[in-house]
Amino acid sequence: MNTFDAIQQRRAAKYFDPNHKMTREEIHILLSNAILSPSAFNIQHWRFVLVQDPTLRKEIKALSWEQAQITDASLLLILCADMKAWEKEPKRYWQNAPLEVQEFILPAIDSYYRDKEQVQRDEVFRSCGIVAQTIMLGAKEMGYDSCPMVGFDFDGVAKLISLPKDHVISMFITIGKATQEASPRAGQLPLEKLVIVDKF
């Protein structure tokens, strides 16, 4: 599929075929391509929780306004991020770079993040936003529909999945075969309202 076609055809699907299952190979293809997304300092903050246990899905659904896609989608992905990934063996993110690059970038990572909790949080959410869009466009390329979700009890879900204290949940993404077409786009702002040249 043409990339622009995938962008234009990607919509937030709310209703999925509960009988359809994605194969392990499909999930591997989707996520192995997703992790090629860019991230700040190549830290790859994202962590993907694949919720496969039907009982756990029902518990999460109860914390998500009983939205049907939680249990009906082929794949429920909880997109999390490690807020402290920047200080956990940062050399591994640059292990294939020349030594002079490593000698420059590793101190830069430390300087950029250390003692700056807001920066740490901002960067993981930026990185998660990028990888989320890659996942949804990749799903569309594979013939699947998806839905990004924030309509759930973040703290409650964190407890259910035993989220580590230094991690945060960014969003859910549900993926599968949609059973209904998405409603017409609700109201796209014209480009001229969104593009500013040089200064506001």
Q: What confidence tens digit (pLDDT) does each residue in 52-86 have?
A: 999 999 999 999 999 999 999 999 999 999 999 99
Instruction: Report pLDDT for 62.
Output: 98
Q: How far apart are CA 165 and CA 167, in angstroms?
A: 6
Burial of 140: CB neighbours in 10 Å, binned 0-12, 13-18, 19+: buried
Buried residues in 6-39 as b, exposed as e (16+ CB within 10 A):
beeebbebbbbeeeeebeeebbeebbeebeebeb
Instruction: Report pLDDT for 183.
Output: 86
What residues of the chain score a pLDDT lower than 50?
Answer: none
Q: How far is CA 156 from CA 42, 82, 152, 169, 191, in A?
A: 30, 18, 8, 11, 39
Q: How far apart are CA 139 and CA 34, in angstroms?
A: 10
Instruction: Report pLDDT for 1.
Output: 83
Residue 176 pairs in a beta bridge with: 145
Helix (H, G, I), strand (E, B) or coil at 82: strand
Residue 77 pairs in a beta bridge with: 50, 173
**The whole model's pTM is what?**
0.95
Helix (H, G, I), strand (E, B) or coil at 76: strand
Q: How far apart are CA 92 and CA 116, in angstroms?
A: 22
Q: Give the angle 48-35-23 at the CA atoms, nearest 5°.
A: 65
Instruction: Report pLDDT for 182.
Output: 87
3-180, CATH topology level: NADH Oxidase (3.40.109)
Separation of first and last alpha carbons in the chain: 37
Residue 58 pairs in a beta bridge with: none
